Structure 1
Amino acid sequence: MKLPSLKIGDLVASVPIVQGGMAVGISLSGLASAVAEEGGIGVIGTAGIGMEEEDFFENFIEANIRALRKEIRKAKEKTKGIIGVNILVALSNFADMVKTALEEKIDIIFSGAGLPLDLPKYLKKVHKTKLIPIVSSGRAARIIAKNWINKYNYVPDAFVVEGPLAGGHLGFKREELQNPEITLENRLKEVLDEAKIIEEKYNKEIPVIAAGGIYDGKDIAKFLKLGAKGVQMATRFVATYECDADEKFKEAYLKCKKEDIVIIDSPVGLPGRAIKNEFLEAVERGEKKPYKCPFHCIRTCDYQNSPYCIAIALLNAKKGNFKYGFAFAGANAYRVDKIVKVKDLMRELVKEAEENI
């Protein structure tokens, strides 16, 4: 059976795969445009996007805006496919990132790491951009939808529901990650139920996209059968030639074992899933990495007491310098065994999903 397309309002992705937006330079225009070109939805991660601009430390706001404009334009030059951005609610420059993305006529804004309660206020009548919250429960979906509808008369265009097996910062408490009752399957059902209520009341289709630990075509087929209209995948796209990270970053995925993938307490106040290395082991031993915080990029970051700067650590890893950084990764990263072209990965995923649907 042929895989169904993913429809979000007037946008149609012929392949129902969203590439997860990976911040601090892992998914920029290179990866996003390659995924969009193959019929999926390519996503640029905006957190720390300006860190490689020469004046980043002096002009934090301007450097980020400039870099985001640059990456969106580069992506659009390479493809006519669907391009989105992922903007964390917790970013201290959240408003600037949203306004810039809208000015650049981005197709979709995905927003999580907190509740994006005021996201629709930036939207003007001229904008056709779709707004999609990333949630980890039905309750979060309900709160956001109620807020958007009451305050801005705006019904969410879709929901991404992220389960506990995702990489990077997680919308769960540490103890919840150990709870066998908390699964993507259960959380997907909660969000589907909420979406159905809103759909019936406001006569608008609200697709739900499942995310977190989805690895292969069998997983895609499984979640489509459970009612998701699409899936979001990030880990698989790191091990592609088009991924914007250094080769050593990709190699960290190829080399890691199951036991190397650990939950850390991030300075930003959320648990995160990462690949264990000497840097993280030193942090665990209580060693501090001296730094000055020039920008306080994440509002929830306890930068005065944190043993290291997470933005600088992630940038170092992106550049392949693991002595001073580490890689975030999903729970299935240890299964990655080779680097492939995005085109080949997408074909493999689609073929396997169609065989299992």
Structure 2
Amino acid sequence: MYKALRIGNLTAKLPIIQGGMGVGISLSSLAGAVSAKGGIGVISTAQIGFTEPDFDRNPLEANLRMIGEHIKRARKLAPSGILGVNIMVATQNYARYVKEAIKNGIDLIISGAGLPTELPEIAKGSRTKLVPIVSSLKAASVIFKMWDRKNNVAPDAIIIEGPKAGGHLGFHPEELEHIDDAAYDEEIKSIIALTKDYETKYGKEIPVIVAGGIENKQDMEHYFSIGADGIQVATKFVTTEECDADIKYKQAYINCKEEDIMIVKSPVGMPGRAMKNAFMERAGLGRIPIKHCHNCIKTCNPAETPYCITDALANAARGNLDEALLFCGANAYKEDRIRTVQDVLDDFFA
């Protein structure tokens, strides 16, 4: 059994958040569809303006413009649904992205790929709910303590992204090669216990959402049994009709085998999970020079980075697979056909 997911004054009928996937994988079409069906749909702001004609000249302006545009489009699909954006802490001009999303009436901001210690100050005075992503008790402790001390607030919810998630991961590579599910369950329980302390201090509910490799109702109910309030799912939504990515990207998931999934080193400075392909083979042989910098990540040095992550991820969204970084979750190989968002939701809530 499941209950509605309440984040402050927002109530999602289904306790599921669709994970944010950039560049261009979870935009307004996917987010709007999930929101319309009773979940929480999430738009990734990572280089969200990559299809705009002025993107190469003015990436920041193109991205900020399309944050508003995609929120507007998703609202048309789900007028009464709940919508979020995923904004990476590592993003250049992070504060501008947060303020633009708030200006356009977004319901919640989910933030990871770094610790969003400054998020409460940036969002001060808004009604937007703030949801940090953590992978460890240590990271959760830092966020709770800093938000409490500097801003006298606590998160509105917290997402725990486990080692089976896709994209950028908050783990050491060796931890990802040898995943101990039982040990990580204990980490989740510790984070939940910490969250309870701050619920008591602030007199509010702080739901805990678990993410990473959640495949079916049995997985979901396992996490509910250890104290989680909701789940976040991303990979399973890629192979849906509503997903914003090119059909070739979706087909790559359908065609992939378990042995095709690997841990890669991202230019962001974090390990990630992706599929083997011609691009990853070339990247393994040496640096792929950057033709044009898109000013995406704070930590990127164009003269040294192994390849341009913007180009690699944009190529994935466009279906140019031989030039693409194909991020995916640990269970991507289990997706074997194109379905609908409703089909995916039925895996958990039918």
Give the TM-score category using the shorter length.
Answer: over 0.9
Equivalence for 2:46: 47
Query: How high is the TM-score relative to the length of structure 1?
Result: 0.94
CA distance in 1, matches of 2:34, 2:139: 29
1:21 correspondence with 2:24: no
Equivalence for 2:238: 238
How far has the Cα of 1:300 moved from its partner?
1.7
Equivalence for 2:91: 91
- Is the 1:269–1:302 contact (alpha carbons within 8 Å) kept by the matching residues of 2? no
Return 147-156 or 241-250, whichever deviates more. 147-156
- Is the 1:184–1:211 contact (alpha carbons within 8 Å) kept by the matching residues of 2? no
Q: Give a deviation string over 1:223-258, Cα, whole Å, max 9, x none.
A: 111110000000000010000000000000000000
CA distance in 2, matches of 1:56, 1:200: 46
Return 102-111 or 184-193, whichever deviates more. 184-193
- Is the 1:184–1:212 contact (alpha carbons within 8 Å) kept by the matching residues of 2? no
CA distance in 2, matches of 1:240, 1:110: 22
How far has the Cα of 1:124 moved from its partner?
3.9
CA distance in 1, matches of 2:270, 2:178: 17
Return 102-111 or 138-147, whichever deviates more. 138-147
Opposite residue 197 of structure 2, the aligned amino acid is: I
1:282 correspondence with 2:282: yes
CA distance in 2, matches of 1:308, 1:123: 33
Q: Give a deviation string over 1:65-109, Cα, whole Å, max 9, x none.
A: 001110011111111200000000000121111000010110000
Identity, % of aligned pairs?
A: 51
How far has the Cα of 1:181 moved from its partner?
4.5
1:210 correspondence with 2:244: no
Return 178-187 or 12-21, whichever deviates more. 178-187
Equivalence for 2:110: 110
- Is the 1:136–1:162 contact (alpha carbons within 8 Å) kept by the matching residues of 2? yes
- Is the 2:107–2:129 contact (alpha carbons within 8 Å) kept by the matching residues of 1? yes
Matching of residues 15-164 of structure 1 within 5 Å: 15-79=14-78, 80-125=80-125, 127-164=126-163
How many residue pairs were aligned? 348
Opposite residue 221 of structure 2, the aligned amino acid is: A
CA distance in 2, matches of 1:243, 1:140: 31
Equivalence for 2:9: 10
CA RMSD between the two structures? 1.3
1:270 correspondence with 2:280: no
State the SS of the aligned residue for 1:248.
helix
- Is the 2:47–2:59 contact (alpha carbons within 8 Å) kept by the matching residues of 1? no
Opposite residue 201 of structure 2, the aligned amino acid is: K
1:303 correspondence with 2:302: yes
Q: Give a deviation string over 1:120-168, Cα, whole Å, max 9, x none.
A: 112243x211000000111211211111122112111011001111100
State the SS of the aligned residue for 2:195.
helix
1:255 correspondence with 2:247: no
How far has the Cα of 1:178 moved from its partner?
2.9
- Is the 1:162–1:184 contact (alpha carbons within 8 Å) kept by the matching residues of 2? no
State the SS of the aligned residue for 2:160.
strand
- Is the 2:113–2:169 contact (alpha carbons within 8 Å) kept by the matching residues of 1? yes
Q: Give a deviation string over 1:12-34, Cα, whole Å, max 9, x none.
A: 11100100000110000000010
CA distance in 2, matches of 1:38, 1:163: 25
- Is the 1:28–1:44 contact (alpha carbons within 8 Å) kept by the matching residues of 2? yes
How far has the Cα of 1:325 moved from its partner?
0.9
Opposite residue 94 of structure 2, the aligned amino acid is: F
Return 157-166 or 317-326, whichever deviates more. 317-326
Q: Give a deviation string over 1:265-313, Cα, whole Å, max 9, x none.
A: 1111111100101110111122x43323423311122432123201101
- Is the 2:59–2:295 contact (alpha carbons within 8 Å) kept by the matching residues of 1? no
- Is the 1:254–1:337 contact (alpha carbons within 8 Å) kept by the matching residues of 2? yes
Equivalence for 1:354: none
CA distance in 1, matches of 2:30, 2:289: 33
- Is the 1:145–1:156 contact (alpha carbons within 8 Å) kept by the matching residues of 2? yes
CA distance in 1, matches of 2:59, 2:324: 21
- Is the 2:278–2:323 contact (alpha carbons within 8 Å) kept by the matching residues of 1? no
- Is the 2:173–2:271 contact (alpha carbons within 8 Å) kept by the matching residues of 1? yes
CA distance in 2, matches of 1:144, 1:49: 27
State the SS of the aligned residue for 2:245.
coil
1:319 correspondence with 2:289: no
Query: How high is the TM-score relative to the length of structure 2?
Result: 0.96
State the SS of the aligned residue for 1:262.
strand
CA distance in 2, matches of 1:213, 1:302: 32
Unaligned runs of 5+ in 2: none
State the SS of the aligned residue for 1:143.
helix
